[in-house]
Each structure stands twice: as C-alpha cells, then as structure tokens.
Structure 1
Amino acid sequence: MEHVLRECLIALRLADRVGLADADRLVVYYTALLVNVGCHSDAHEQAKWFSDDIALKSGKYEREIGGLADARAAFRLFGAGQPVLHRFRLGLEFAVSGHHDFDDMISNHSRLARALAEQLGLPPAVQESVGASYEQWDGRGWPGRLRGEGVPIASRLTQLAEFTEVAHRVGGAEAAARLARQRSGRQFDPTLSGILCADGAAIFDGLDSIRTWDAVIDAEPALGVRMSTAQFDQALLAIADFVDLKSPYMLGHARGVAALAGGAAERLALPADDVAVLRRAALVHGWGRLGVSNSIWDKPSDLGAGELERVRLYPHITERMLRQSATLAPIGAVAVQCQERLDGSGYPRQLSGTAISLHGRIIAAAQAYQTKIEDRPHRSALRPPMAAGFLRAEATAGRLDSRAVEAVLEAAGHRVSRAVNGPARLTEREIDVLRLLARGLRSREIATRLVISPKTARNHIEHIYTKIDATNRASASLFAMRHGLLTDE
C-alpha cells in the first residue's frame, strides 16, 4: 500500500540532491506516479500462465528482472494450483505461442503507460520518460533501445526509487543501500546509487510516519499541471479504460455504467451536479478490481468462499483509493455503494433501506444491468430484454430500487448505438475479429465463432494490428474501447 506515493517522494528527494530544476522535477514527479500504471493490462494472460497475476508481479522486487533467478521463480508459479495434466498442456501452449507474449510484457507496460500520459495531456518529456522507465543503465532493460545517460534522468531516478522503496519497507535504509550497491552499473545509474548510499538516512527519513498523500500533493513542483472540469472528466475516463483492461470480460464496462447512471439521473430530473457525480462515480466504481487477482475475475467455474470474499472487497478498495482526496472522496462515497442491495444482501457493508443513497441505488441498478449484458467467464451475455427482466425481478424482490431500475432501463432503451464506420480503415470483418480478440479469444476460437479458417483469422489479426498500430491484445482492446467497437447492438 502507498508504494507509488513513497516511491515518488524518494525520487524527488534524489532529484533535489542531483540539483534538478523545477521543470525537470516535474517530469520526475509524474514519471514516478505513472511508472507502473500499465502493469495490470495483461493480467489476463499473466493469470492464465501463472495462476495469480498479483503474486507474479510481487516477486519482481526480490530478484533482478530478466535474470535466471527471476525466470526460475516465475516458472515455479506456472499453472500453480492446477492438476498435472493441465499444467502439462499449458506448458505446451506456452512453448508454442505464450512465451512470445510474455517476453514483450514489460515493454508493453511502458508503452501503455506512455499512452496514458499522452491522453492525460502531460508534457512530452513526461511521456518520453514514462516510456523509458524500464530501460536499464547497462542497456539490458525494456524495450532495450537506451543505455547509460541515454536513459532520461527521470526514468533512472524513478527506477532506483521504485526498487529501493520496497527494500526500505522490508529492511530499512541499510537494505535499500545494499540493493542500490548490488545493482549499481547494471540496473541502476552508479552515480545515483552512490548518492542514495551516501545519504540514505536523510532520503528515507520520515517515510513511515508522514501522511504520504499530503506529502506528495505538497511536493508537486511548481504546480505544473492544472485541470479544467472537462479535463478532469476526460482523465477519469482515460483511467477507467485502463482499469477495464485488466480483464477482457470488463472492456468498456465503466463507460457503459457511466452512460446508464448518467442517463438515469437525467431522467429522474436530478440536478446537473448530481448527474456529474453519478457519471464520475460510475467511471471509478471498478478501480478496486485492481486489488483482486485475475485468477478470480477470469475463473470459468464457481468461486470458492475465499474467492467470493476477495470479490466483495473491491468496492471497499475503490473507496480507499479515493478517500484521501477532497475532490475524489465524494465520488468514492457513491461508488462504494455499487453492490449494495436494499434488503441488506449486498456488499461491502450490507447496507439496507434508506442507508443506501439515491445515488447509490442508481449506480447499483446501472452496474447490475451493464454486467448482465456483458459476457462473463462462466456465462454468456444476456440479451437486453432478459437483462431488463432480471432487473425488474430484483426490484420486485426488494433488492434494487424500482424507481432507479426503471430510470436505468429507460436510459438503456433510448441509447443510440454508435455507428461502426471502420476507424483506421478496418473492414466489417476485421471489426468482428477485433471485438473477439479484445475479449481474449485466440485465433482458433475466433475462427470457430466466425466460421472462417484459423489461417484467415490470423491474417485478419495481423492486418488489424498493422492498421491500428497495436502490438498486443491490450493495446488493441484500448483502440476498440475508444472507438466504440465492443458492441454490435
């Protein structure tokens, strides 16, 4: 918890000792905050190969990335918890195609992080630095195009801060200095490593006792980035899209819930400010899913009791992510009610009756409808009439608010489908393939769905990647979301 915030403070303290100007410190600030933002984008694939994407990522701080020890540790997780025959089949599939995707994962993380920095309107220097944040001093980083002082100074500072923050948390300043010395000249800039070793006590001073959020906000150099209301909404949308990349079953989910919740609020004649709050709460309601492994989200069978308890935590995690900001806390207070039910059967707090706000009742109904019309690993999507029937049955049973349900259904029934006009010169067939590809289907499965040959499906995928300048499923999924291609309604 708070790893990125502490890492940002360490990077800024190092920047002070290097003597960076405010403009350069601004780059360090945002690079440190965004460095790992793309790491969940292939969680679906990570969980497929290694069972628990969160457990896989947690090991990166214990060993040098890309080394033999790192590879051995990763393969100990390969197919963990599965029967031997399943692990054998998985190994064959990984040997044929999966290892190519795995090799590119880290490069894709930095590429997507750079894309988010661009979408947020951050300066070009931040975009460049975020894109190089996995490069290493010895040139053996990712994507491996830079080395030494060719790696932006903000990238070098951030990488050193990221890893030594974990070492300090576990073993104190001495452990952080030891890690910096061990990897100096390889992963880390030797000059920066020397500064951290020489002045570690001051660099790490107070990290365990200060209010980290407030300290990071106060440390923003020159208050270099300001947002208008429109930019704020666009930022929430951009981040919501990135969160939805975590699972192919959730692509476009936040956008859909936001459209329904906002439309329902308008139909209930709520004030404009309330409509805005509901749209924003809908965009952020699923952010807490990042704290739950894809071995749970993408599981094709029933969840166990422990797994269900993890799922029930995600609205709480969302609220905890947002509560420290005076601007975001009111939004989180609505978002946390997205799974509450009037009879007290919901979660995370089992609220009932009037304890659930009108805003909460609307977002609960919108979230329920949107979920029902989307595929899930254990079931296919319901057609809209069936989803509407489910919502009305829930209202009759006293679990959902009938007024909120009717407003959401009215909003759903009056939506105008976005016309598919072939962005990036995609043909109708390529759009069909892209839609299935984004949902996590492999070329053979796509071929079966569309009644075409596997070779034709692979050719379509290759053409799609070329046309939209994508290199993997995550970036193709982001393109599909941004261009409204995930539904054929």
Structure 2
Amino acid sequence: MKQEPVQLAEILASLSLATDLGLGLPAEHVLRQTVIAARLAELAGLDDEVRADTFYVSLLAWVGCVADSHELATWFGDDRQMRADSYGVDRRPLKMMPFMLSHVGAGRPPGQRMAVAARFVGGGFRDALGTFVTHCQTTGDIADCLGMRESVRRSLSQAFERWDGKGVPGEVGGEGLEQAIRIVQIADDTEVFAHSGDVDAAVEMLGTGRGREFDPALVDLCVEHAAAILHGLDDLDAWPVVISGCAALDRTLGDEELTPALEAFADYADLKSPWYLGHSRAVGALAQRAATISGAVDPDLALRAGLVHRLGAIGVSSSVWNKAEPWSAVERERVRTVPYLTERVLSRQPTLARIGRLAAMTHERLDGSGYPRGLTATSLDGPARLLAASDFYQDLVEARPGRPAVGEAERAEAMHTEVRAGRLDAASVEAVLHAAGHRVSRRVPQVASLTAREVEVLVLLVRGMSTKDIARRLTVSPRTVTAHLEHIYAKTGTSSRGAASMFALRHGLVSAEQHWQRTPSEDR
C-alpha cells in the first residue's frame, strides 16, 4: 500500500489522542501538555538531547494508563472517571487512601459498596498501588516497540515517582529523577488546572506541590513565566505546533516500520479488557489472509485497519467491556462511538487517516443496521466488507463475558446467517472462512444468480457503455450482449441502466476504485 511519509512524532501524537480517551480528559490534553513541557524545557536552557527526551516522554508518559483499566474498573467502576478525578490529589500512598475509598464500589448498591470497600482495605489498596508499576512497565514496552532510546525509557519508568522520594515505587527522588520526567510531571498537572480553571489555579497547584511532587527550581521557573508558558493554550491547535516543533531526533518511518508501530496501537487498545487481549492482531491477520485470497483488497491495508479498529475502545470504561449482563442503553450508545473515536484519533495524519476511515467501517452493515453511521451497501467497498466479516468471525472465536467461544461449525453458520440477512457480504464471508481454515466452495458466491460473464456485462453497462461497445470489449456479438442484458434485468429485478447501477453498487459489483478505459473504437 502506497503511503504518505509518516513521522515518528505523528505516530506518538496520534497515540496521545487515544491516551486522552483513557485518561478521561479533554481531547489534546497530552498535546497541550507537550507544548507546555517544550516551553518549560526551553526556558530551563536544557540541551538538545534532554529536550528531545522531554518531547518523547511527554507524548508517551501516560500511554500505559490502560494497563490497569481492568483492576480500576473492578474496584472503582468507571476507570476513566477515576483517572480524571485523581488530578489534584496528593499522590503519596497514604494520602491516596481517602480518595480511593471515596470511589470504591462506585455505581453499586450501598450494601455491595460496603463489601467492596472492606475487601479494598484488606488488600485491594496495595494492589491498586501496584498498578502504577504496571503502568510504567507497559509504557516501557510500547516505547521499546517504537524504538525509543534508553534515556526515554528511564524517564518513563519514573512517571509516578516524586521529588520528595515518596512516590511509587519510591526508588528515586530529587536529582535522581530524570530531567525530562520532572518537566513532564509539572506540565501534566499544569495543563489540567490551566484548562479547567485559569493561570492562577495552575500557579496555586504548583506552589502546593513545590518540593514535594515537583522539582522546586522548575516550579519557580514555571511560576515566574506562567503567562508565557500558558499563553494561548485554550485556543491552540496543538497538533501542528507539536509536530512542527518536534525533536531533532525525530525520523520518518519506512513502510516496513509502519505495521509494527500499528501493532503497538493494537496491543494498547486490547489492554483495555482481558477479554479482548490479542483480538486486534487476530482481526488484522485474518483480514490480511482473506484479502490475499480474495485478490480484490490490498492485504496491507486490511491488516493495518484490523490492527487499529478498536483504538476507540480506550474511550469506553472497562466496566462496560467486562460486563456479563446486557449493556444499558447508555452503555450501548457509548460502545457505538468506538469506530468514530478510532477515526478521530487517526485523522490528523494522511496515511493514518486513510487507515482510520476503513477501520471506522468495521461495524457497518450492508443493510444499514450497523454503526456508527448506518452506512448501506452503496457506501461500503470491498475493504470495508472484508474487514467487517473478519471482525465478526474473530469475535465468535473468542469468549466474551456471559458467553463462551463459539464452535467452529457454529461460526460458519453464524456467518452465513448474516449473509442471508443481508448484513455481511457473501464473497467477503467466503474469503474469511477460507482464511480461517474452513472448507468452502471454490466458486465465488453468485449475486442474484448472475454468471461471471453477466457480471462483466453489468459492470460495463453501468459504466455507460452501449451494447455495441460492450460487444467490442468482450469480443462477442451485439445479439449475445442483448441476451445477457435481458437475463441481467430479469435476475436483478431492474429495467434500466440507472436501476442496474444501484443494484451493482449495493452488492459491491462496482466501485470508484475500479478503473477502465474506452478503446478508440468505443469513442467513435
């Protein structure tokens, strides 16, 4: 698949937009935080390498937030709300206890909430603190996948340490903290307070954390220049500012590097719930094999869209993904936003945007019953149909809360049921079943019993060719073409080129991606 060049900074910035979803904070929080960090690093007179580290650490520092989503949802209900509410809380372990107790069992009846609180005091608090370490380890793994250097990894491992040494895991403090993470910690909280309040609120927060959470010298510098550091943030389109000012160490990813980077996106999304671990990679691999079999879809595009199709799931609480009971109307509507969120996260970079547009169609259906846009067959091309079939099949392979994995024979029948109901495309389903190891007919499923030759004639007809043009193109007589057209109209229930065109679009027999040219004789 031909692609526009992708910068490493664009990959990280896109990932940061997904991180915003997981943190429960307004869009572009991490990007604005990165602008603040860059301004503070410049004022501090840090050398180019430390400023480069600061850039990367800022974009990656909170990317591991999804690693503890399952545990947070178990104790506190909505993991995203818990994270958003944690800003402004003293993060020393003993100070965190009252805050956590105020959130334990949220959304449960009083009796259940008391029981959960008792278990939390008995051992859950210790486990909750351990999730900070898990976060850092996960962030480090993602940094490895993206080829970050060791100094960046060291900073990321200190994300929850404090200047006073009372952080988590409490192994380092003071000057032992990397300069990059010291700056990012200040930038993170400062952005939240400045965005939700004003400069005075941010300055007050910094004063409270000075010498405790934060490097006092950096706090003094930030307070002294608060107006300049926070200038224009509310109206700022942070993406171009971050990308144009990215570190000198930034580089362009080769085509062979893009897929491994998107595999990091896949793993990131699937960490949201244990029930989905490995799902995105499996969908991508299945779609790639099915695309190769079909010969009509770019296998690399199918793979990459499959890898990222659940990225928006980070914006839904893990309590929803882990729920065995039917979703409420509110929960169902939030889940239906996942494809839209996926597309928005990837929309700022041209190559990623193309992949994101396809990924956002994973849950659309030919009859218009899918989501988020309710697209119908006329708007769903071959790649979209194949990806939808791949995801549907892989979901059957895996157990979900409240149901076991579906058996092999039942999977095939479920797929065929979707075809008969007009929701999934027959040819795509056959390609997916073949790719998954099922024994399928070698014949391409017929649409409306049209023969292969009749499909050829139909495609040429809807492209505006006359009977004589079609005859010349196929090297047959006009009488033969006329006979084919009679059969086509009878089988499709149409009687004009326009109606036949709509039929061809609905059934994926023609699309804008198909190219053809008239011969000189056809233009006469």
**TM-score interval for Structure 1 and Structure 2 normalised by the shorter chain:** 0.7 to 0.9
Which residue does 1:384 correspond to in 2?
Answer: 408
- 2:97·2:125 contact (CA, 8 Å) conserved in 1? no
Q: After alignment, is 335-344 or 378-387 more displaced?
A: 378-387
Letter in 1 for 2:180: A
- 2:69·2:318 contact (CA, 8 Å) conserved in 1? yes
Which residue does 2:345 correspond to in 1?
Answer: 321
- 2:93·2:129 contact (CA, 8 Å) conserved in 1? no
**Is the partner of 1:289 in helix, strand or coil?**
helix
Which residue of the other structure, out of 278, 293, 303, is the alignment partner of 2:302? 278
Which residue of the other structure, out of 386, 392, 409, is the alignment partner of 1:368? 392
Letter in 2 for 1:11: A
Q: After alignment, is 281-290 or 98-107 more displaced?
A: 98-107
Which residue of the other structure, out of 179, 183, 202, is the alignment partner of 2:205? 179
Per-residue CA deviation, residues 429-484 of structure 1 (Å, 9 max, x unaligned), is: xxxxxxxxxxxxxxxxxxxxxxxxxxxxxxxxxxxxxxxxxxxxxxxxxxxxxxxx
Which residue does 1:337 correspond to in 2?
Answer: 361
2-structure distance, mates of 1:97, 1:61: 24
Which residue does 2:327 correspond to in 1?
Answer: 303
2-structure distance, mates of 1:223, 1:393: 53
- 2:101·2:117 contact (CA, 8 Å) conserved in 1? no
Tell me how far 1:189 sits from its aligned partner: 0.4
Tell me how far 1:414 sits from its aligned partner: 6.8
C-alpha change, 1:414 and 1:129, in structure 2 (3 Å) is farther
Which residue of the other structure, out of 100, 120, 135, is the alignment partner of 2:161? 135
Superposition pairs for residues 192-211 of structure 1, below 5 Å?
192-211=218-237
1-structure distance, mates of 2:106, 2:330: 17
- 1:61·1:163 contact (CA, 8 Å) conserved in 2? yes
Per-residue CA deviation, residues 102-153 of structure 1 (Å, 9 max, x unaligned), is: 1211122112111211221111111111111221110011221111111000
Which residue does 1:245 correspond to in 2?
Answer: 271
- 1:289·1:314 contact (CA, 8 Å) conserved in 2? yes
Letter in 1 for 2:371: Y
Which residue does 2:428 correspond to in 1?
Answer: 404
Q: After alignment, is 152-161 or 319-328 more displaced?
A: 319-328
Q: TM-score, structure 1 length as denominator?
A: 0.82
Q: After alignment, is 118-127 or 68-77 more displaced?
A: 68-77
Tell me how far 1:67 sits from its aligned partner: 5.8
Per-residue CA deviation, residues 3-52 of structure 1 (Å, 9 max, x unaligned), is: 11111111011010111222211100110001011111121111111111
Which residue does 2:186 correspond to in 1?
Answer: 160
Tell me how far 1:412 sits from its aligned partner: 0.6
**2:196 paired with 1:170:** yes
2-structure distance, mates of 1:224, 1:353: 42
- 1:54·1:293 contact (CA, 8 Å) conserved in 2? yes
- 1:118·1:124 contact (CA, 8 Å) conserved in 2? no
Which residue does 2:479 correspond to in 1?
Answer: none
Tell me how far 1:327 sits from its aligned partner: 2.0
C-alpha change, 1:108 and 1:401, in structure 2 (3 Å) is same
Letter in 2 for 1:180: L
**Is the partner of 1:327 in helix, strand or coil?**
helix
Tell me how far 1:288 sits from its aligned partner: 0.3
Q: TM-score, structure 2 length as denominator?
A: 0.76
**2:29 paired with 1:3:** yes
2-structure distance, mates of 1:170, 1:358: 45
Per-residue CA deviation, residues 50-86 of structure 1 (Å, 9 max, x unaligned), is: 1111111111112122366643232122112223343
Q: Report % sequence identity.
A: 41
Q: After alignment, is 91-100 or 156-165 more displaced?
A: 91-100
2-structure distance, mates of 1:90, 1:372: 33
Letter in 2 for 1:150: G
**Is the partner of 1:169 in helix, strand or coil?**
helix
Which residue does 1:90 correspond to in 2?
Answer: 116
Tell me how far 1:242 sits from its aligned partner: 2.3
1-structure distance, mates of 2:233, 2:300: 36
2-structure distance, mates of 1:227, 1:124: 19
Which residue does 1:37 correspond to in 2?
Answer: 63
- 1:15·1:157 contact (CA, 8 Å) conserved in 2? yes
Tell me how far 1:97 sits from its aligned partner: 4.2
Which residue does 2:377 correspond to in 1?
Answer: 353
Structure 1 unmatched ranges of 5 or more: 416-489
2-structure distance, mates of 1:328, 1:318: 11
**Is the partner of 2:67 in helix, strand or coil?**
coil
Letter in 2 for 1:215: V
**Is the partner of 2:65 in helix, strand or coil?**
coil
Which residue does 1:289 correspond to in 2?
Answer: 313
Tell me how far 1:96 sits from its aligned partner: 4.5
**2:246 paired with 1:220:** yes
Tell me how far 1:100 sits from its aligned partner: 3.0
C-alpha RMSD over aligned residues? 1.6
